[in-house]
Each structure stands twice: as C-alpha cells, then as structure tokens.
Amino acid sequence: MRRLWVSLSVVVLSCALGVAPWAGASPVTAVTIDPVGARDTGAYGINDGGQIVGYFNGAGATVGFLANPSTYAHVHGYLRAPGGDFATVDVPNATDTHATGINNGSQIVGRFEDARHYTHAFVDTPEAGFTVVDAPGATATEAYGINNLGQIVGNLADTRGHTHGFLRASGGTVTRIDVPTATDTEADGINDAGQIVGTYVDAVGRRHGFVRTAGGTFTPVDAPGSTNTWAYGINNAGQIVGAFVRGTRTAPHAAFLRTPRGTFTMINVLGATETLARGINAAGQIVGSFRDARHTALGYLSR
C-alpha cells in the first residue's frame, strides 16, 4: 500500500569527495531525506527518474544503520518523488517494511517481517501491488535490487545460518550466488547488463565487495587501504557505490564511488560521523545514509 504525504523537511548540506588514495576534496551539494515525524531514515535506491526508496521509523522504534536491520517495530518503507513528496510503502499485515530497490518502471523491492517475525522478500508493482518472492528452501529472504528487466537480487539464509546471494529471473527462477571460498555472500544491486554487486566474507571474517558479470565471473571490489568493504549499488555505466572502514567492522564508515576502471572516490557528508552510499542512477545521483553529531540516521541525495 502506498499512502501519500508531503515532506516539509528539506535541508541542503555538503559532501566531501576525494579521489583515491583519498587525497584532496571538493564540495558537492546534497539534500537530506528525512520524512516529517521520522526518528531515523535510510535511503537505499534511486531510479533514473529520481524516485527514491528507503525506510524510516516512528516514535518508539530503533532502526539499525550499518547492518541490515532485522527485527524492529514501526518501520515503514517509503517512495520519495523527485519533487520531495513521500508515500509510505507498507506490506499489508507486516510488522515492518523496508523498501530497498526501484527500477524505471517504479517496481519496488524490499523485505518485510510478518507477525511471527519471519523475514520475507517482496516486489511491489504499480499494476499488481505486493507479491512475496521468497527463495525456495530459505529460512529468511531479503530483496535489495531490481533492474529494468525485472531481475531481482537479494539474500537468503539457509538452515545452517549461512547467507547466500540470489538472482531471481523475471519468470521466477531463483539462482544462488556464492563467491568461491566465501563463508557468506550477499547480493545487493543489479544493472540491466546483469552485473551484480554485493559483499562476501572471507575465511578470516573480513568483508569484501564484489562485482559479478552476467556470465558468473567475480571481481573483488576493495577500497584502497580498507580492512572491510561493502558494495551496494551499480548503474548501467558500471559505476559502483558502497562503504568501507579502516579497522574493525564497527569503526566509522565512509562511502565510495568506483568507476568501471577501478578508480575510487570517497564520499563523506561534512559533519557526519559516518556515511554510506547505497544506490546510484544513470545521472550519477547517489543516495545513502549518514549519522549526524547527535547519532541520528538521515538519508541523503547527492547532486
């Protein structure tokens, strides 16, 4: 169900960008994404028309920021129009909903929790509304990205507690995605060429981003000097966005933009304690989240 309301909260801020190895910086304009009445907000996906999806929480709820949020009450998905109006995206009878990806046809994917706190993936189309798209044999399923062909990527949990990425074809066939030798794999974004980005865990517990071709070839995506890297979004030009840390996984995160040739640019919202980049469209607009000095999570759109 998509319910419309108007946002009255628009704040212009600055982001600092520096080219690898993270030397130099130049300011760019960004806008906060903060629905009125929300306590924390995350922005996950953006399409070429400038529609943005994400999630927010109301009073009395706590939303995870760096990890994939799991069991929280009063969490709603949203769809933000280019002009700034918001519509909620709530799966009927769900205890919470996260909208995480959107394509140019305004098809939205995400995840929700039912009354028993089981996690399911969904796709919400303007024509058919909500459809559950759980992976066969999974104990939990999350959808994170959808391209203009209707292909969906996300994560599933198996009975042993391990995480696998998956690709769901437009016809419904599901293929698991596992980086060779990885203990866990997550798939977060897909473009129209079938390139998939995500994150895997190696034998010693470090996170690495990856990009996978439609033919199944994996290439690591590691930000220079990082100890852990997450790759979250990819556009049709092959530009990748994500986050990295230098130190433990709980250290402050910085965001990055990676070109198809492998050049990294660091993205940090000025004044933020940490920044994530989640999605990028054909125009190079980036959405993500940052934490301010009060430790509040806010979405942003770079321009």
Q: What mean pLDDT, rounded, does the chain reach?
A: 87
- Produce one character per residue of 108-119: b if its CB has 16 or more CB atoms within 10 Å, e if not: bbbbbbeeeeeb
CATH code, residues 2-302: 2.120.10.30
Report the chain's terminal Cα–Cα distance, integer Å: 29
The per-residue pLDDT for range 223-281, each reduced to its tens digit, is: 999 999 999 999 999 999 999 998 776 777 899 999 999 999 998 888 888 999 999 99
Region 206-220: what's the mean pLDDT?
97
Give the model's pLDDT for residue 283.
97
Give the model's pLDDT for residue 248.
73
Q: DSSP secondary structure string, 149-166?
A: T--EEEEEE-TTS-EEEE
pLDDT-above-70 percentage for the chain: 85
Separation CA 141–CA 159 (nearest Å) = 12
Separation CA 113–CA 111 (nearest Å) = 7
- Select the highest-mean-pLDDT range: 21-30, 65-74, 283-292: 283-292
Pick from 260, 266, 195, 259: nearest CA to 226: 266
The per-residue pLDDT for range 109-142, each reduced to its tens digit, is: 999 999 999 999 999 999 999 999 999 999 999 9
Separation CA 207–CA 200 (nearest Å) = 6
Q: Is the peptide bond before 69 cis (omega within 30 degrees of 0)?
A: no
